[in-house]
Amino acid sequence: MRLPILAALLAVLVSPATLRSEEGMWTFDNLPLKALKAQYAFEPDKAWLDHLRLASVRLSGGSASFVSADGLVLTNHHMVRGNVQRLSTRERDLLKDGFVAATREQELKVPGLELFVLVSMENISERVLQAGQAVKSEAEALRARERETQKAREELRTKTGLTVEPVALYQGGETWLYVYRKFTDVRLVMAPELSVARFGGDHDNFTYPRHHLDFAMVRVYEGGKPYRPEAFLQWSAGGLKTGELALVSGHPGTTNRLWTLAQMEYARDFGTPMQVAASGRRRAILEAFAQRSFEARSQVGGQIYGIDNGLKATKGYLAGLKDVEAMKAVERTETELKKKVAADPKLKALAGGSWAQVQKALIESRKLALELMLVNARGSELLGIALHLVRLPVEVSKIETTRLSEYSSAALAPLKTRLTQARPIPFNPELELHLLTEGLKEAQSMLGKEHRFIKAMLGGRSAEAVAQEAVAGSKLQDPVEVKRLLEGGAPALATCMDPMVVLARKLDPLQRQLRERSERLVEGPLREHAARIARARFAVYGKDTYPDATSTLRLSYGTVKEYPANGTLIQPFTTLLGLFDRYEGWGGGEFNLQRDTWRLPARWLERKDKLDLRTPYNLITTNDIIGGNSGSPVVDRKGELVGLAFDGNQESLAGRYYYDERTNRTVCVDARAIREVLTKVYDAEHLVKELMGTK
């Protein structure tokens, strides 16, 4: 059993110094094929890679994959948790009790859930760059490039009839158009009980050793029939062992690894602490609402979960930024690049002054940050709609180059559709009132009552009174009314006395002014100079690095591997034995309230003796992933499904800024565990047969 390890060791020893560790979220057009060959003797061909790409699925904020010929899609439970919650009723709590469709007829339509498959990618960098060179000022060049991007996007959309999204890679160093096939008829097939899906709850979130059965299955339908995907992942009959190669294909959301040191320091000392405080206030507002009733909690529970998740993640990011050693490494890298730029007259002209410009922009950002955070619709859905209604006629009347970005020609149609279509989730005036009231109170307490935003919105009255009047008096919850106002244009708006529209007319100029200043003093310069530094980096290092995450498809490679933590080495796999150990370790059936976190559903306890408890349950790999990768398939070198990425360990959170191979680990559900429990706990042998292609 030692050979593969020896081989890997040898590979590392003989590999050239330029080959780094398993760092990297690689775009499918620029994969680290040399490193894969050298380190793992792994040489995937185009067919192998196309197959993995076409089996990979994107959903809002996350990832998934096709896993059967009949359109079955595997993702994380936490990616569809909100949907499962909304499908629940007081009588039938799918979140608490789980759900298994015994037949296709029982599969439940999930309103609002959209899935995307990346069918092609087009590099339009050259064309976009050209467009920017005709004009002189930085701001005009930016606009020109944006226009050209939108134009190319529109062309491709028309040509393909598919969803086309522009993607800026390497901080704008490259521009691409990604073409997606979109699916909107998605039905819930299987979701385990919340208590096993997130066993250990918020406590265990972002930790390891973990015991989460964080998977769910949905099925894509087209024309009322199960969709037959172009590609789907075969389920491995076995699974991974320690040291074996693991590939993760998914949609990492955001990393900031190409940030300058100054940006990281800004985040560490100012931006992130401010954001943590804001999230805490937002959570308190939502929690106060959730406590009103079962229905209230089921409406905002998902948002609260999202905030908790975000807060724990943010604290991890902050810990990463506070790691003195790691930040020194960031500084060294930057110093090296700066030197190379300074030594080359062309690069110096391009980006020599950019670091100082970034610094300057960050100073401006500090001044504007509080107002930018607070001067907005304050969580009110109707005020948000009203703001669009007020702005649309104005913006549409301008030439494209001077419009606010969300009113570009390309964005107009989808925006209008969104404003006028029926809601997937019914409007809740109570929640609307609560959010607006508390949002206004928060702004008042932080800006002071003499601030022009507070004066404009409240006019000396209380937040409660203003919000009450606005929510009660508005008709904007009705898409018909919104449509009427939209179609009426400027004249209809000018005479509209809907109280939300009245508030929006006051908010609009204040927000425009702030946005203009932020664009001019902060966002514009940051974008411009990040792109300049990125272009300089390109010139120095070429494209053997990977771009920061952008919620687009990436491939990451790594191995199953332990790491040092908590004073010891942490095991690469957990097993079902460990799940029951943690249940019993809190006293088994004898829980007090706090211990509900490590509870198991009755059917798990009843069927425990049927399970092979040695079955690998969760596992860790060195793959470089981040939020947005949740639900990504983990495949072996055959391209077969061996696991499902659902999280990182605490230490991986620093991965937002840098990858530390010693401790950064991806946490996955082992595919073997899914098969084991589908069969023995959930009576879902039919699904296992479908997955294994043996039905």
Nearest approach, Cβ of residue 258 and its own copies (Å): 27
614 binds its own copies (CB under 8 A): yes
Cα(437)–Cα(286) distance, integer angstroms: 12
Which span sits near its own copies by CB under 8 A: 335-343, 377-385, 488-496, 576-584?
576-584
320 binds its own copies (CB under 8 A): no
DSSP per position, 490-532: HHHHHH---HHHHHHHHHHHHHHHHHHHHIIIIIHHHHHHHHH
Q: Are 206 and 648 in contact (CB under 8 A)?
A: yes
Among 573, 657, 658, 682, binds its own copies (CB under 8 A): 573
Interacting positions 186-215 with its own copies (CB under 8 A)? 200, 203-204, 206-207, 209
238 binds its own copies (CB under 8 A): no
Nearer to its own copies, 111 or 587 (CB): 587
Among 577, 601, 605, 637, binds its own copies (CB under 8 A): 577
569 binds its own copies (CB under 8 A): yes
414 binds its own copies (CB under 8 A): no
Among 215, 289, 563, 580, binds its own copies (CB under 8 A): 580
299 binds its own copies (CB under 8 A): no
Residue 575 forms beta bridges with which residues?
616
Nearer to its own copies, 313 or 493 (CB): 313
66 binds its own copies (CB under 8 A): no
Q: How many residues contact its own copies, by CB under 8 A?
A: 41
Q: Are 441 and 450 in contact (CB under 8 A)?
A: no
322 binds its own copies (CB under 8 A): no
Nearer to its own copies, 206 or 659 (CB): 206
Interacting positions 250-269 with its own copies (CB under 8 A)? none
568 binds its own copies (CB under 8 A): yes
Which span sits near its own copies by CB under 8 A: 353-361, 469-477, 609-617, 676-684?
609-617
DSSP per position, 138-178: HHHHHHHHHHHHHHHHHHHHHHH-SEEEEEEEGGGTEEEEE
Nearest approach, Cβ of residue 662 and its own copies (Å): 15
160 binds its own copies (CB under 8 A): no
Token pair of 532 as six digits: 């300049």
333 binds its own copies (CB under 8 A): no
Among 394, 565, 605, 692, binds its own copies (CB under 8 A): 565
Q: Are 560 and 242 in contact (CB under 8 A)?
A: yes
Cα(556)–Cα(548) distance, integer angstroms: 13
Nearer to its own copies, 291 or 568 (CB): 568
For residue 133, with 0-12 CB atoms within 10 Å meaning exposed, 13-18 middle and 19 or more buried, which class applies?
Answer: exposed
Instruction: Provide the CB-side half-sphere exposure for 668 (13 A, CA).
Output: 37
460 binds its own copies (CB under 8 A): no
Q: Are 298 and 87 in contact (CB under 8 A)?
A: no
**CA-CA distances (angstroms) from residue 688 to 51, 72, 190, 541, 579?**
22, 11, 12, 47, 22
Which span sits near its own copies by CB under 8 A: 391-399, 413-421, 562-570, 662-670?
562-570
Closest CA to 266 of 175, 313, 210, 327: 327
- Cα of first residue to Cα of last residue in the chain, in angstroms, is 34
610 binds its own copies (CB under 8 A): no
Q: How many Cβ atoms are within 10 Å of 272's Cβ, its own excluded?
A: 18
Nearer to its own copies, 68 or 650 (CB): 650
Residues in the chain: 695
Interacting positions 647-686 with its own copies (CB under 8 A)? 650
613 binds its own copies (CB under 8 A): yes
Contact residues: its own copies, CB under 8 A? 1-2, 5, 200, 203-204, 206-207, 209, 241-242, 312, 562, 565-569, 571-575, 577-578, 580-582, 584-588, 590, 592, 597-598, 613-614, 616, 650
